[in-house]
Amino acid sequence: MSETSQLSTTDVIDTPVKVRRKRKRPLGFYFAATWIALIIFLAVFGWILPAPSWDTSFYDSLGVHPFHHSHILGTTLDGYDMFAGLVNGARLSVFVSLVSVTIGGAIGTFIGVTSAYFRGKIDMIVTMAFNVMLSIPNLVLSLALLSVLAYSDENHPATMSRRVGVLMLSLTIVIIPILGRIARGATLQWSSREFVLASKSMGTKNFTIIRKHILPNVAPAILAIGFLAIGSVIIVEGSLAILGIGVPGGASWGSMLANGRGNIAYSPWEVYLPAGAIALTVISCNWFGDYVRTSLDKRESKI
Protein backbone atom coordinates (compact mmCIF):
# COMPACT_ATOMS: atom_id res chain seq x y z
CA MET A 1 0.00 0.00 0.00
CA SER A 2 1.20 3.44 -0.67
CA GLU A 3 2.94 5.10 2.18
CA THR A 4 1.02 8.31 1.80
CA SER A 5 -2.22 6.63 2.76
CA GLN A 6 -0.80 6.45 6.25
CA LEU A 7 -1.69 10.03 6.63
CA SER A 8 -5.31 9.16 6.06
CA THR A 9 -4.95 6.54 8.80
CA THR A 10 -6.46 3.75 6.70
CA ASP A 11 -3.25 1.83 6.62
CA VAL A 12 -2.44 2.22 10.25
CA ILE A 13 -5.55 0.30 11.15
CA ASP A 14 -4.40 -3.14 10.28
CA THR A 15 -7.33 -4.80 11.97
CA PRO A 16 -10.14 -3.44 9.90
CA VAL A 17 -12.52 -1.55 12.10
CA LYS A 18 -15.72 -0.37 10.63
CA VAL A 19 -15.71 3.37 10.79
CA ARG A 20 -18.96 5.09 10.18
CA ARG A 21 -18.12 8.72 10.09
CA LYS A 22 -20.81 11.26 10.55
CA ARG A 23 -20.02 13.66 7.81
CA LYS A 24 -20.95 17.24 8.32
CA ARG A 25 -22.98 18.19 5.32
CA PRO A 26 -22.48 21.69 3.96
CA LEU A 27 -25.29 24.17 4.53
CA GLY A 28 -25.77 24.44 0.78
CA PHE A 29 -26.76 20.81 0.70
CA TYR A 30 -29.71 21.36 3.04
CA PHE A 31 -30.77 24.40 1.09
CA ALA A 32 -30.55 22.58 -2.24
CA ALA A 33 -32.31 19.48 -0.94
CA THR A 34 -35.13 21.57 0.57
CA TRP A 35 -35.66 23.56 -2.59
CA ILE A 36 -35.62 20.50 -4.84
CA ALA A 37 -38.03 18.71 -2.50
CA LEU A 38 -40.33 21.75 -2.55
CA ILE A 39 -40.31 21.95 -6.35
CA ILE A 40 -41.01 18.24 -6.69
CA PHE A 41 -43.79 18.50 -4.12
CA LEU A 42 -45.37 21.40 -6.01
CA ALA A 43 -44.99 19.56 -9.30
CA VAL A 44 -46.70 16.44 -8.00
CA PHE A 45 -49.22 17.74 -5.47
CA GLY A 46 -49.60 21.34 -6.66
CA TRP A 47 -53.12 20.66 -7.91
CA ILE A 48 -54.33 19.95 -4.38
CA LEU A 49 -53.36 23.40 -3.13
CA PRO A 50 -56.11 25.96 -2.82
CA ALA A 51 -54.87 28.09 -5.70
CA PRO A 52 -56.83 29.38 -8.65
CA SER A 53 -56.41 27.81 -12.06
CA TRP A 54 -53.21 28.94 -13.76
CA ASP A 55 -54.87 29.79 -17.07
CA THR A 56 -57.80 31.74 -15.69
CA SER A 57 -57.58 35.51 -15.92
CA PHE A 58 -58.96 37.56 -13.05
CA TYR A 59 -60.25 40.68 -14.76
CA ASP A 60 -61.02 42.33 -11.43
CA SER A 61 -57.45 42.07 -10.17
CA LEU A 62 -54.93 42.92 -12.84
CA GLY A 63 -51.31 43.38 -11.74
CA VAL A 64 -51.92 42.74 -8.05
CA HIS A 65 -48.82 42.98 -5.84
CA PRO A 66 -47.39 39.86 -4.26
CA PHE A 67 -48.54 39.11 -0.68
CA HIS A 68 -51.95 40.51 -1.47
CA HIS A 69 -54.73 38.80 0.48
CA SER A 70 -56.42 37.47 -2.65
CA HIS A 71 -53.36 36.35 -4.61
CA ILE A 72 -50.42 35.31 -2.49
CA LEU A 73 -47.78 36.03 -5.13
CA GLY A 74 -49.82 38.59 -7.01
CA THR A 75 -51.12 38.49 -10.55
CA THR A 76 -49.80 39.47 -13.95
CA LEU A 77 -50.96 42.59 -15.75
CA ASP A 78 -53.32 40.27 -17.63
CA GLY A 79 -54.76 38.99 -14.38
CA TYR A 80 -53.19 35.52 -14.22
CA ASP A 81 -52.33 34.23 -10.74
CA MET A 82 -48.56 34.11 -10.27
CA PHE A 83 -48.55 31.34 -7.67
CA ALA A 84 -50.68 29.08 -9.82
CA GLY A 85 -48.45 29.84 -12.78
CA LEU A 86 -45.28 28.95 -10.87
CA VAL A 87 -46.76 25.71 -9.58
CA ASN A 88 -47.86 24.73 -13.05
CA GLY A 89 -44.47 25.77 -14.42
CA ALA A 90 -42.74 23.59 -11.83
CA ARG A 91 -44.74 20.61 -13.04
CA LEU A 92 -43.79 21.22 -16.64
CA SER A 93 -40.15 22.00 -15.89
CA VAL A 94 -39.69 18.99 -13.62
CA PHE A 95 -41.47 16.73 -16.09
CA VAL A 96 -39.55 17.94 -19.12
CA SER A 97 -36.14 17.97 -17.49
CA LEU A 98 -36.50 14.69 -15.62
CA VAL A 99 -37.82 12.80 -18.62
CA SER A 100 -35.28 14.14 -21.07
CA VAL A 101 -32.30 13.75 -18.72
CA THR A 102 -33.37 10.24 -17.70
CA ILE A 103 -33.94 9.01 -21.24
CA GLY A 104 -30.94 10.88 -22.67
CA GLY A 105 -28.79 9.75 -19.76
CA ALA A 106 -29.81 6.11 -20.13
CA ILE A 107 -29.12 6.10 -23.86
CA GLY A 108 -25.87 8.05 -23.46
CA THR A 109 -24.65 5.83 -20.64
CA PHE A 110 -25.44 2.69 -22.59
CA ILE A 111 -23.60 3.91 -25.68
CA GLY A 112 -20.69 5.39 -23.73
CA VAL A 113 -20.14 2.39 -21.46
CA THR A 114 -20.38 -0.27 -24.15
CA SER A 115 -18.19 1.58 -26.64
CA ALA A 116 -15.50 2.25 -24.02
CA TYR A 117 -15.65 -1.30 -22.70
CA PHE A 118 -15.29 -3.01 -26.07
CA ARG A 119 -13.17 -0.29 -27.74
CA GLY A 120 -12.25 -0.83 -31.39
CA LYS A 121 -13.99 0.68 -34.41
CA ILE A 122 -17.35 1.19 -32.70
CA ASP A 123 -15.66 3.29 -30.06
CA MET A 124 -14.03 5.47 -32.71
CA ILE A 125 -17.35 6.05 -34.45
CA VAL A 126 -19.14 6.78 -31.18
CA THR A 127 -16.49 9.26 -30.10
CA MET A 128 -16.71 11.01 -33.42
CA ALA A 129 -20.51 11.12 -33.29
CA PHE A 130 -20.44 12.54 -29.76
CA ASN A 131 -17.99 15.23 -30.83
CA VAL A 132 -20.12 16.21 -33.80
CA MET A 133 -23.24 16.39 -31.62
CA LEU A 134 -21.44 18.42 -28.97
CA SER A 135 -20.24 20.89 -31.55
CA ILE A 136 -23.82 21.92 -32.41
CA PRO A 137 -25.00 24.53 -29.90
CA ASN A 138 -27.93 22.98 -28.04
CA LEU A 139 -30.11 26.03 -28.52
CA VAL A 140 -29.65 25.88 -32.29
CA LEU A 141 -30.47 22.17 -32.33
CA SER A 142 -33.63 22.66 -30.30
CA LEU A 143 -34.64 25.63 -32.43
CA ALA A 144 -34.23 23.65 -35.63
CA LEU A 145 -36.13 20.63 -34.33
CA LEU A 146 -38.96 22.71 -32.92
CA SER A 147 -39.42 24.79 -36.03
CA VAL A 148 -39.48 21.70 -38.25
CA LEU A 149 -41.36 19.18 -36.14
CA ALA A 150 -43.66 21.52 -34.28
CA TYR A 151 -44.15 24.18 -36.93
CA SER A 152 -46.88 26.48 -36.01
CA ASP A 153 -48.65 29.45 -37.64
CA GLU A 154 -52.04 31.13 -37.42
CA ASN A 155 -53.72 28.52 -39.60
CA HIS A 156 -51.96 25.44 -38.28
CA PRO A 157 -51.34 25.87 -34.58
CA ALA A 158 -49.26 23.05 -33.12
CA THR A 159 -50.85 21.41 -30.12
CA MET A 160 -49.33 21.91 -26.70
CA SER A 161 -48.51 18.24 -26.29
CA ARG A 162 -46.77 18.18 -29.64
CA ARG A 163 -44.63 21.15 -28.69
CA VAL A 164 -43.72 19.65 -25.32
CA GLY A 165 -42.96 16.33 -26.99
CA VAL A 166 -40.63 17.86 -29.56
CA LEU A 167 -39.02 19.98 -26.85
CA MET A 168 -38.26 16.86 -24.80
CA LEU A 169 -36.95 15.06 -27.88
CA SER A 170 -34.55 17.87 -28.65
CA LEU A 171 -33.36 18.09 -25.05
CA THR A 172 -32.85 14.32 -24.95
CA ILE A 173 -30.66 14.54 -28.04
CA VAL A 174 -28.65 17.28 -26.35
CA ILE A 175 -28.16 15.17 -23.21
CA ILE A 176 -27.03 11.94 -24.94
CA PRO A 177 -23.50 13.05 -25.91
CA ILE A 178 -22.93 15.01 -22.69
CA LEU A 179 -23.59 12.05 -20.38
CA GLY A 180 -22.31 9.59 -22.99
CA ARG A 181 -18.88 11.18 -22.92
CA ILE A 182 -18.77 11.17 -19.14
CA ALA A 183 -19.78 7.49 -19.10
CA ARG A 184 -17.20 6.65 -21.72
CA GLY A 185 -14.39 8.38 -19.88
CA ALA A 186 -15.26 6.80 -16.55
CA THR A 187 -15.57 3.37 -18.15
CA LEU A 188 -12.15 3.66 -19.78
CA GLN A 189 -10.68 4.36 -16.38
CA TRP A 190 -12.49 1.57 -14.55
CA SER A 191 -12.24 -1.14 -17.18
CA SER A 192 -8.44 -0.96 -17.02
CA ARG A 193 -8.59 -1.93 -13.35
CA GLU A 194 -7.34 -5.37 -12.54
CA PHE A 195 -10.55 -6.57 -10.93
CA VAL A 196 -12.17 -6.33 -14.35
CA LEU A 197 -9.39 -8.46 -15.83
CA ALA A 198 -9.73 -10.85 -12.90
CA SER A 199 -13.43 -11.16 -13.60
CA LYS A 200 -12.77 -11.81 -17.28
CA SER A 201 -10.20 -14.46 -16.43
CA MET A 202 -12.83 -16.23 -14.34
CA GLY A 203 -15.06 -16.50 -17.37
CA THR A 204 -17.60 -13.85 -16.41
CA LYS A 205 -19.57 -12.70 -19.43
CA ASN A 206 -18.92 -9.19 -20.68
CA PHE A 207 -22.39 -7.82 -19.99
CA THR A 208 -22.30 -9.27 -16.49
CA ILE A 209 -19.00 -7.46 -15.89
CA ILE A 210 -20.52 -4.23 -17.18
CA ARG A 211 -23.57 -4.65 -14.97
CA LYS A 212 -21.76 -5.74 -11.82
CA HIS A 213 -18.44 -3.92 -11.95
CA ILE A 214 -18.52 -1.07 -14.43
CA LEU A 215 -21.96 0.52 -13.98
CA PRO A 216 -21.86 0.81 -10.16
CA ASN A 217 -18.47 2.46 -10.40
CA VAL A 218 -19.28 4.94 -13.15
CA ALA A 219 -22.68 5.80 -11.63
CA PRO A 220 -21.41 8.60 -9.31
CA ALA A 221 -19.92 10.58 -12.17
CA ILE A 222 -23.05 10.15 -14.28
CA LEU A 223 -25.41 11.05 -11.44
CA ALA A 224 -23.46 14.17 -10.61
CA ILE A 225 -23.38 15.37 -14.21
CA GLY A 226 -27.03 14.31 -14.56
CA PHE A 227 -28.01 16.81 -11.89
CA LEU A 228 -26.01 19.51 -13.61
CA ALA A 229 -27.77 18.53 -16.85
CA ILE A 230 -31.19 19.01 -15.26
CA GLY A 231 -30.13 22.54 -14.44
CA SER A 232 -28.98 23.30 -17.94
CA VAL A 233 -32.09 21.72 -19.47
CA ILE A 234 -34.23 24.10 -17.44
CA ILE A 235 -32.19 27.01 -18.75
CA VAL A 236 -32.48 25.82 -22.36
CA GLU A 237 -36.22 25.49 -21.94
CA GLY A 238 -36.40 29.06 -20.59
CA SER A 239 -34.25 30.41 -23.41
CA LEU A 240 -36.45 28.77 -26.03
CA ALA A 241 -39.55 30.27 -24.45
CA ILE A 242 -37.99 33.74 -24.51
CA LEU A 243 -37.18 33.24 -28.19
CA GLY A 244 -40.86 32.67 -28.72
CA ILE A 245 -40.77 28.98 -29.47
CA GLY A 246 -41.07 26.19 -26.98
CA VAL A 247 -44.06 26.14 -24.66
CA PRO A 248 -46.50 29.03 -25.22
CA GLY A 249 -48.99 30.85 -23.04
CA GLY A 250 -47.14 31.05 -19.74
CA ALA A 251 -47.27 27.28 -19.16
CA SER A 252 -43.63 27.07 -18.10
CA TRP A 253 -41.31 29.29 -16.06
CA GLY A 254 -39.54 30.38 -19.20
CA SER A 255 -42.79 31.10 -20.89
CA MET A 256 -43.99 33.19 -17.92
CA LEU A 257 -40.75 35.10 -18.14
CA ALA A 258 -41.27 35.67 -21.85
CA ASN A 259 -44.80 36.96 -21.33
CA GLY A 260 -43.90 39.15 -18.41
CA ARG A 261 -40.83 40.72 -19.90
CA GLY A 262 -42.80 43.60 -21.52
CA ASN A 263 -44.45 44.50 -18.20
CA ILE A 264 -41.30 44.84 -16.16
CA ALA A 265 -41.91 48.55 -15.57
CA TYR A 266 -45.42 47.97 -14.14
CA SER A 267 -45.26 44.56 -12.48
CA PRO A 268 -41.59 43.53 -12.09
CA TRP A 269 -42.56 40.43 -10.06
CA GLU A 270 -43.75 38.91 -13.31
CA VAL A 271 -40.08 38.68 -14.27
CA TYR A 272 -38.41 38.26 -10.88
CA LEU A 273 -40.50 35.36 -9.62
CA PRO A 274 -40.07 32.93 -12.55
CA ALA A 275 -36.45 34.04 -13.04
CA GLY A 276 -35.82 33.43 -9.34
CA ALA A 277 -37.45 30.00 -9.53
CA ILE A 278 -35.25 29.06 -12.47
CA ALA A 279 -32.09 30.37 -10.81
CA LEU A 280 -32.74 28.67 -7.48
CA THR A 281 -33.55 25.36 -9.13
CA VAL A 282 -30.46 25.44 -11.32
CA ILE A 283 -28.20 26.34 -8.39
CA SER A 284 -29.80 23.66 -6.23
CA CYS A 285 -29.29 21.03 -8.92
CA ASN A 286 -25.63 22.00 -9.23
CA TRP A 287 -25.05 21.89 -5.50
CA PHE A 288 -26.90 18.66 -5.12
CA GLY A 289 -24.97 17.09 -7.99
CA ASP A 290 -21.71 18.20 -6.43
CA TYR A 291 -22.70 16.72 -3.12
CA VAL A 292 -23.75 13.42 -4.70
CA ARG A 293 -20.44 13.17 -6.48
CA THR A 294 -18.24 13.92 -3.51
CA SER A 295 -20.14 11.63 -1.17
CA LEU A 296 -20.14 8.72 -3.62
CA ASP A 297 -16.52 9.37 -4.50
CA LYS A 298 -15.45 9.17 -0.87
CA ARG A 299 -15.00 5.44 -1.07
CA GLU A 300 -12.86 5.72 -4.14
CA SER A 301 -10.72 8.46 -2.64
CA LYS A 302 -9.99 6.29 0.37
CA ILE A 303 -8.09 3.81 -1.74
Partner 1 sequence: MAGSGKAHMRPDGDRVLTVEDLTVEFRMSKDKIVKAVSGVSFDLLRGETLAIVGESGCGKSTLGKAILQLPKPTSGSVNFLSTELTTLPKKELRDMRPAMQMIFQDPVSSLDPRLPVSEVLAEPLRVWNRGNQVEIDAKIDELLNAVNLDPKVVRDRRSYEFSGGQCQRISIARSLALDPTMIICDEPVSALDVSVQAQILNLLQDMKDRYGLTLIFISHDLAVVKAVSTRVMVMYLGKVCEVAPPDALYLDTRHHYTKALVGSVPIPDPDRAVTKGLIMGEPPSPMNPPSGCRFRTRCPAATEKCAAEEPQLREVAVGHFVACHHPIS
Partner 2 sequence: MSSLLKIDDMSVRFQTPRGNLKAVNNVSIELLAGESLGVVGESGSGKTVLSRATMGLLPGTATRTGTITYNGQDISNLPKDEVRELWGTGMAMIFQDPMTALNPVRRIGSQLTESLTVRLGMNKKDAKEKAIELLKRVRIPDPEAMLRKFPYQLSGGMRQRIMIAIAVSCEPELLFADEPTTALDVTVQAQVLELLTELRKEANMAMILVTHDLGVVAGHTDKIAVMYAGDVVEYAPTRQLFANMKMPYTEALLKSIPRLETPTGSRLPVIEGRLPDPTKNEPGCPFANRCPYVTDKCRAEKPPLTDGGNNHFYRCWFPIGGVK
Among 2, 135, 155, 301, which residue sits at the site for partner 2 (rule: CB under 8 A)? 2
The minimum distance between CB 221 and partner 1, in angstroms, equals 13
Instruction: Specify the stretch interacting with partner 2 by CB under 8 A; choose among 4-12, 42-50, 69-77, 93-101.
Output: 4-12
Confirm or reject binding of residue 303 to partner 2 (CB under 8 A). no
Nearest residue (CB) to partner 2, 15 versus 155? 15
Confirm or reject binding of residue 60 to partner 1 (CB under 8 A). no
Instruction: Specify the stretch interacting with partner 2 by CB under 8 A; choose among 18-26, 90-98, 158-166, 234-242.
Output: 18-26
Confirm or reject binding of residue 24 to partner 2 (CB under 8 A). no
Confirm or reject binding of residue 13 to partner 2 (CB under 8 A). yes
Confirm or reject binding of residue 202 to partner 1 (CB under 8 A). yes
Confirm or reject binding of residue 294 to partner 1 (CB under 8 A). no
The distance between the two most distant Cα atoms of the chain, rounded to a whole number of Å, is 77
Confirm or reject binding of residue 3 to partner 2 (CB under 8 A). yes
- How distant, in Å, are the alpha carbons of 156, 162, 297 from that of 152? 6, 10, 47
Nearest residue (CB) to partner 1, 68 versus 302? 302
